[in-house]
Amino acid sequence: MTTAIAPAARDVLAAWLAHLRGVQGAAPRTVAGYGADVTRWLDFLARHRGGPVAPAALTRADAAEIRAFQAAERARGLSARSLARAMSSVRAFTRWLAERQGAEATAILSARSPRYRRRLPRPLDVPAAGAVVATISAEAEPWIAARDAAVAMLLYGSGLRISEALSLTGAQHPLPEVLRITGKGGRTRLVPTLPVARAAVDDYVRLCPHPVIRDGPLFRGQRGGALSDRVISGAMARVRARLGLPASATPHALRHSFATHLLSAGGDLRTIQELLGHASLSTTQAYTAVDAARLMEVYDRAHPRAHG
């Protein structure tokens, strides 16, 4: 129930979400997540204080109210990870509102999120990633096989997100040696493209029965519309079954594999951060933990002392 939220507070929330979309270029799914998190916070405050809360009072929540909100969220089954994300949303909203109002919001902005164990990326090893790229093209129709192989090559060879690969337009064909990609938060980065990836895209365009026009999507679906990420996810599911790979072998795992394999080959974290388009180096640092874990697996299997 969210009827307790004052109309003026709803308007402020709507203005912030519009700011995220229009100014910061946040993805629709990100905006929806932020909106849901802050809506629960506003509803909690209204019910906790016994009535609608005006925008001017939203930044004045105290530490006791924040603890009560976190307790209520955990009581309804929210995980520590999800609650940490919700608190991040509340802090971002409050920071924006406080700046607009010229207000202080120390209690909220300094509130600590619950600790949780960050899930590590689950990349494929080099042979498995190569097998996926080679096997994903095992489709009946040659142009679809070429399309799926080209998308997979961009995910693994350039570290693109699936949304970034599918947002390419005909204007970007033939692919240049360096692509300019606009990713999360409207951040722009330069990404090298391998010759094999450029050749894969060329093969797809040559076979595609639908015209690839400058202002249209580069990757087309069966009927000529923009290719859906669900189609590529389905292709990956078939590859998983064929190769006996775990459920973690998703399109995004190819991007993880790109980063992990670069790190294993001696790439430095700052460069990998720039190639992936991560806003924070701490996000990229998760791949060092993956690399260390793999190193220990090899050590345990191969070192003579590991076997007595």
Same domain, 15 and 102: yes
Task: Quick: pLDDT tens for 56-85.
Answer: 888 888 888 888 888 888 888 878 778 888
Looking at the predicted structure, is the pLDDT value of residue 126 above 80?
no
Q: Known catalytic residue: 255?
A: yes
Region of residue 25 (left: phi > 0; alpha: psi -120 to 50; beta: else):
left
Q: Among residues 147, 220, 252, 261, which one is catalytic?
A: 252
Cβ proximity of 16 and 97 under 8 Å: yes
Distance (Å, whole) CA 252 – CA 233? 9
Q: Which domain, by its residues, includes 94?
A: 7-109
Work out the angle at residue 86's Cα, subtended by the Cα atoms of residues 85 and 90, and round it to the nearest 5 degrees: 120
Q: Which of 165, 156, 152, 157 is nearest to 218 (CA)?
A: 165
What is the average pLDDT across 161-165?
88
Q: Among residues 40, 147, 161, 256, which one is catalytic?
A: 161
Q: Among residues 40, 147, 220, 255, which one is catalytic?
A: 255
CATH number, domain of 44, equals 1.10.150
Looking at the predicted structure, is the pLDDT value of residue 272 above 80?
no
Q: Known catalytic residue: 252?
A: yes
Q: Among residues 10, 19, 85, 184, which one is catalytic?
A: 184
CATH number, domain of 224, equals 1.10.443.10
Instruction: Report yes or no on 276 lying in a domain.
Output: no
What is the average pLDDT across 204-218?
92
Same domain, 105 and 135: no
Instruction: Report yes or no on 119 lying in a domain.
Output: no
Angle in degrees, 0-180, between the axes of helices 80-101 and 7-22, rounded to the nearest 10: 100
Q: Known catalytic residue: 261?
A: no
Q: Known catalytic residue: 161?
A: yes
Same domain, 77 and 167: no
Instruction: Report yes or no on 285 lying in a domain.
Output: no
Would you state the pLDDT for residue 297? 47
Task: Quick: pLDDT tens for 23-33.
Answer: 777 778 888 88
Q: Known catalytic residue: 210?
A: no
Would you state the pLDDT for residue 169? 92
Mean pLDDT of the chain: 79
